[in-house]
Each structure stands twice: as structure tokens, then as C-alpha cells.
Chain A
């Protein structure tokens, strides 16, 4: 069983709408949690990073939240754009390794 589980696997929304992607992890203890965006045919790019003590982090229309007690994180995308169509990957770092979720494939339709 993967130590980082993401849901949903895929999501289709209309342009302009908001959406929330989920990440549950069992990795412990952890150093930080990142969300990456991966456009089709490209490598992942870091969106946000949160340490254990941070609850929320924003990057433009992207807002990540972290609940270290329940080991859950979410990525909220506001006013979606066509360019938000991509895979979003949750990554949890420990002292001695890094664990990747399988990603959520988001499609934004006009």
C-alpha cells in the first residue's frame, strides 16, 4: 500500500470553477509536504511546500492546507483556467527518503 494516497484519481471541471484535491499520507515522521504540478509531457514543477508546523500555503490561485494530526493535505484551485489541466502530485519528505503519490489528473474544460 502506497504511503501517500491521492484522491480523486481524475477530475473534470469547467473553466472558472474551483476544485480541491486530496492527499492522505501515513509517512511518519515527515519533514515537509510538497505539491507538484506536472503538465502533459513535462517533468513535475513544485507549487507549494509546507513544513510540519504550517497549516496553509498559497501560490497565486493555488492554496495548500496541511493537517498534521490527521495526516491530510489538500490543494485548492480557485477560478480554474485551461492551463490548470495537468497532474498534481503530493510528495512527502522524511529525513531519509521521499514518497510520491500517484497524482490526480485534472482536466479543465471551456
Chain B
């Protein structure tokens, strides 16, 4: 079974703090994704990566950056957290076909920015 883990289930941070969210997958998947999920809006893509050190912007990259130094690990960074970044953050991975393959999701990190 594919396993995608995220470093924290819940996080509380203050405005202006730098926040790191980490995601690890154990199935040697090429692609990894970061989404945020807000009520009524569905999942929105922040960034994705199709290879080590490669990244592409999704629909809402502003205020975020990512890092993929190893194939199994994909980090999301909030450079200076703001209250409008309070959300559920979901990491996912998939095998090869970026948008055609099933994505396997982690349990999510619920972030509250005060």
C-alpha cells in the first residue's frame, strides 16, 4: 500500500512566522503535489513536483514555496504566514502520468495562523 505521511496533523502559528510542512511518500512516486482545501472551494493546487529539484506552480502559489531535495520528500514553505493561509493542507503523490494517474493523499495538516 502506498503511504503518504505528513509531519504534523495540527499546527498553530503566528502571523509572520516561517512555516514548514513536510510530506514523505514510500512508493518511489515521481510526482508530488501540495493542495489546500477550504470549505466550499474544493482542493486547489499550490505547487507540484515531477522530479527531484523540479517544481511547477499550481493555481495558487503566491505566498508559498516548495523544496524537493529527495525523491520521497516534498516540503511546503510559508515564507511569512498570514491569517488567510489558515487552511487544511494536503500532500499527494502519483506514479508517472502527472494528471492521469491516481493520486494518493496524506492525512492532511490543519494549519491555524493567528
Contacts and interface: CB of A to CB of B under 8 A. Distances in A.
Contacts of A42: 107-108
Nearest to B4: A43
Contacts of B4: 43
A102 B41 contact: yes
Looking at B9, B99, B102, the one whose CB has the most chain A CB atoms below 10 A away is B99
Looking at B9, B44, B45, B103, the one whose CB has the most chain A CB atoms below 10 A away is B103
A2 interface: yes
A49 B108 CA distance: 23
A86 interface: no
A59 B44 CA distance: 27
Nearest to A90: B42
A46 B102 contact: yes
Contacts of A56: none
Contact of B106 (A43, A97, A101): A43
Given A43-B108, A102-B42, A94 B99 contact: yes
* Interface size class of chain A, counting residues whose CB lies under 8 Å from the partner chain: 20 to 34
A101 B42 contact: yes
A100 B100 contact: no
A103 B103 CA distance: 17
Given A89-B43, A102-B41, A41 B102 contact: no
Looking at A34, A43, A101, the one whose CB has the most chain B CB atoms below 10 A away is A43
Interface of A: 2, 4, 9, 31-32, 34, 41-46, 49, 89, 93-98, 100-103
Interface of B: 4, 9, 40-45, 90, 92, 99-100, 102-103, 105-108
22 contacts: A4-B42, A9-B40, A41-B108, A43-B90, A43-B92, A44-B90, A45-B105, A89-B42, A93-B99, A93-B100, A94-B99, A96-B99, A97-B45, A97-B99, A98-B45, A98-B99, A98-B103, A100-B42, A100-B43, A102-B41, A102-B42, A103-B42
